[in-house]
Chain A
Amino acid sequence: MKSFTRELIRLVGRDAVLWRPEDLMLYEYDGLSSLRQPDAVVLPTTTDHVVGIVKFAAREKVPVVARGAGTGLSGGAVTPEGGILIGFSRMKKILEIDLENQRARIQPGVVNLDLSLAVSDQGYFYAPDPSSQKACTIGGNVAENSGGPHTLAYGVTTNHVLGLEVVLPGGEVIHTGAAHWGRPGYDLTGLIVGSEGTLGIVTEITVRLMRKPEAVKTLLAVYDRVLDATRTVAAITARGITPAALEMMDGFTLRAVEDATHAGYPKDSAAVLLIEVEGLLENVEEESDQIEAVCREDHARDVRRAKSNEERELLWRGRKNAFGAIGRISPSYYVQDGVIPRTRLPEMLEFIAGVAEKYKLQIGNIFHAGDGNLHPLLMFDARDEAQHQRVLKAAREIMAKCAEMGGSITGEHGVGIEKNELMPLIFSPDDLDAMRKVKSVFNPAGEFNPAKLLPSGKMCGELRVQVSAGA
């Protein structure tokens, strides 16, 4: 045992420090990739622990990386330069639930779905719902500014975080935002949400809770042509309807999902839209009818409405387990996360088909179509290095197209170590300098989550993914 480890044990206790290589192995990867083991993993239970660890790391000049459940898809929770990994799995207390003010104060290790479950009986929920919500933590969601299918109507994590407790690299603890709307000052909460652990380490979060709607209706629109499905997306928005969720899966993806979950997607179709409306009963009925009409105008072959809660949950289970379903049919896959103006979905879909052909790849498409957020799934076999390289080139081309269409290279998965070298696709050197200024204010020595988010300047516009088999 190194003296390093002994000092950490002194700070947080023997059972809260992992240092044996076989234990560290579990922390060397996240949803994206596997790079290098941390030198130690520490599992604090209090903010004071985190302060102690951060101060120690600053003295030792070693990197500090915070980690929730490790479900992230851009490498935000791995330690490319080694150092101390702070795992938040033991800081998972819901500290306060205040229903009258529709808010909760929680520790960052609280699992996303657990918060909704804790308030569900009283008629409330926490809105951001990433597909990994059964496992991912709200601390991780804050770091990545995570989204999910229902963010179309409700907004992403940043729209639901009121305040934060944050440990800065020098060990100072600050409290940003407030439990109410109008605290004056710079919006540090808004700045820290989505900063991927590079500005500070969040140790407490005040979130907004939403009232459950009176009625929810889920529709499944089935298409024989994928382009018709994409046209429907813009048509729904253009009619002034904002569904709670508007998801699209192409034929390839829905077949894989259907085989895995038997959710009820017709396997002979070319695409499906999963559309959810909610609100007052009257509203839900009217909007369902309007949406059905729009789908049929755009040549939907069938529009089904979930008749029971079970049927509704099954349809959603299919969608939320889609990545897993793909894992059953391909040894490896690479999930992309681009955003384009939603009116350009038809064009983008054709472009992706062209890229698949050019690089001889199978690409499945699963989109948060309502907000133009694409998740093309590029399938490959990691043992085939040539194919792996083709995947990276294809993904880069798709990202460049998103940028060219006035979109973004990430809508909800974050930049991390995956896309930091792609940032110049959408930001000028001056834009990036402004971001570096912010980083230098919070994290001047760069000990917090090094090598993430901003381009290193050493590589030129490349995706950096070493996707492991079965990722």
Chain B
Amino acid sequence: MITALDRAQTELANIVGAARVVSDEGTRASLSVDGKTPGLAVYPPSAQQTAEVLRYASHERLAVIPCRNATKLSIGNPPRDYDIALCMKEMNRVWHYEPEDLTISAEPGMKFGDFQHFVGRHGLWLPLNPPGGASASLGGIVATNASGSYRCFYGTPRDMALGVKVATTEGKVVKAGGRVVKNVAGYDLTKLMIGSFGTLGVIVEMSFKLFPRPTERATFVLTAGTLEKAREIRRALQLSPIRPLRAALLDASYMEFLKESEHLKECGGGCEIWIEVGGSERVVGRCSSELKQIALRANETFREQERNSTMAGVWSRIDDSYSGVRANTDDWLLRVSMAVSAVEEYMIRANRDQLRPEHFWRCWAEPLGGIVHLWLHPHPEPAGFEEVIHNLRRLGEELGGSLVVEIAPFAGKAKVDAWGTIGDDFEVMRKLKDAFDPNHILSPGRFVGGL
């Protein structure tokens, strides 16, 4: 008997070539999402072929999840259906690169590490540090609006993308925005696509503005005995003339973890605030003396972190919040976004009211970005553990923020929504989904409100 998937394999092979439609078990299993394994993996080599695959899938109502290196596929609710893994790996070319203009257009399958290396030759970079690090793909970064600790200074892909091309379920390749740094012609569909997690279309090309890499960078560490003290230091930092490239508040639980994992010897036991500044030697020197003053006024210690593997290791732990967190085990990774002023308050209350030693939790935050990261790995997971997650979400919402579950065990995902409460703008989001993906074939059920 010929099944729908057999038919699809033949039809898709006509679009992309038989070698690019893969059905072997190993490949399919490696692309499974929340326990669901796709029937086929398709590797389109061009924008137009991507669009044709989508048109076919939409017509046949086959569910598609786009991906590249699967670094961020853990985010989102379990898919309702999953027939085709659309793997963008072959689309990894650079189309336009004008270093003097600080602009570039590239395809989604390009790995972030390769991209940074490519533009790094001219002293440029895209100042992001997304989960997945060098293995993250450009497409995945834009689709999830992934950034990292530099967001407090440079913003997110939303602030760097100049335009996108998107393959639609109608089989078209649609352009939004452009390749110049300023452009207000028409609706800003680029913004709509960024962070839509591949639920409206599949990004097949994107243009960015690039940034000159700071000539010097240095990391300074301020101790903060308590979270109250950390708040005082954060406020002083906000009022100082310096603008750090990034800052991380590591609470005692995280410091314990770093002591072990990164052989961090210097730390004393309480919280620490790690700050990276950039610029010329004189600018870095000035930042150093400003930070020293802040530490002095707060009665805390200050040190310049040696430029060694420990420093690199700590920053990469902080940036790549997913490193070490194991998907599909007992680990939970939560990201709570909120106003900057609420960060320490959230950590204090979560610590006091919600978290217990048996949750084996670690907590770190971006005090200037308004984000708290929580990594819990209760083992074995106590019954009703999802109530803890609900409470942590409620606490975030009470402080005006929102909690996203980035990684969770299978069983947990069934009980806790990844995205949280929807707002009064959800109806518009639903209609946009209907307009761009009328048969709901793109990552069905994975996004906010079950979109």
Contact = CB atoms under 8 A, between A and B. Distances in A.
A247 interface: no
Which of B103, B180, B280, B432 has the most chain A CB atoms closer than 10 A to its own CB?
B180
A111 interface: no
Interface string B216-255: 0000000000000000000100110111000000000000
A341 B435 contact: no
Contact of B425 (A174, A234, A410, A435): A174
B402 A438 contact: no
Nearest to B178: A408
Contacts of A423: 185-186
Identify the interface centre among A159, A339, A373: most chain B CB within 10 Å of its CB: A339
Given A174-B428, A180-B338, A186-B432, A237 B101 contact: yes
Nearest to B75: A184
Interface stretch (A8-16, A31-39, A260-268, A411-419): A411-419
A368 B183 CA distance: 13
Nearest to A282: B282
Interface in B193-211: 194-196, 200, 211
B150 to A, nearest CB: 13
A101 B192 CA distance: 25
Contacts of B145: 187
Interface residues on B, range: 35 or more
B17 interface: no
Contacts of B196: 186-187
B50 interface: no
A310 interface: no
B120 interface: no
Interface string B277-302: 00110110111000000000000000
A242 B154 CA distance: 13
A410 B183 CA distance: 6
B175 A431 contact: yes
A182 B431 contact: no
B191 A190 contact: yes
Interface string A200-232: 000000000001011000000000000000000
B447 to A, nearest CB: 8
A137 interface: no
A437 B98 contact: no
A441 B98 contact: no
A283 B420 contact: no
Contact of A438 (B123, B179, B184, B432): B432
Interface stretch (A144-152, A291-299, A318-326, A346-354): A144-152
B185 A419 contact: yes
B401 interface: yes
A303 interface: no
Contact of A145 (B178, B188, B401): B188
A179 interface: yes
B435 A415 contact: no
Interface of B: 96, 98-103, 123, 145, 151, 155-156, 158-159, 166, 168, 172-176, 178-192, 194-196, 200, 211-213, 215, 235, 238-239, 241-243, 279-280, 282-283, 285-287, 335, 337-341, 369-371, 400-402, 404, 419-420, 422-429, 431-432, 435-436, 448-449
Given A431-B175, A434-B168, 12 more contacts: A182-B402, A183-B402, A184-B404, A190-B192, A195-B187, A242-B212, A280-B283, A343-B98, A408-B184, A410-B183, A413-B184, A435-B187
Interface of A: 98, 100-103, 123, 144-145, 147, 151, 155-156, 158-159, 168, 172-176, 178-191, 193-195, 199, 211, 213-214, 234, 237-238, 240-242, 279-283, 286, 339-343, 368, 371-373, 406-415, 419, 423, 426-428, 430-435, 437-442, 453-454
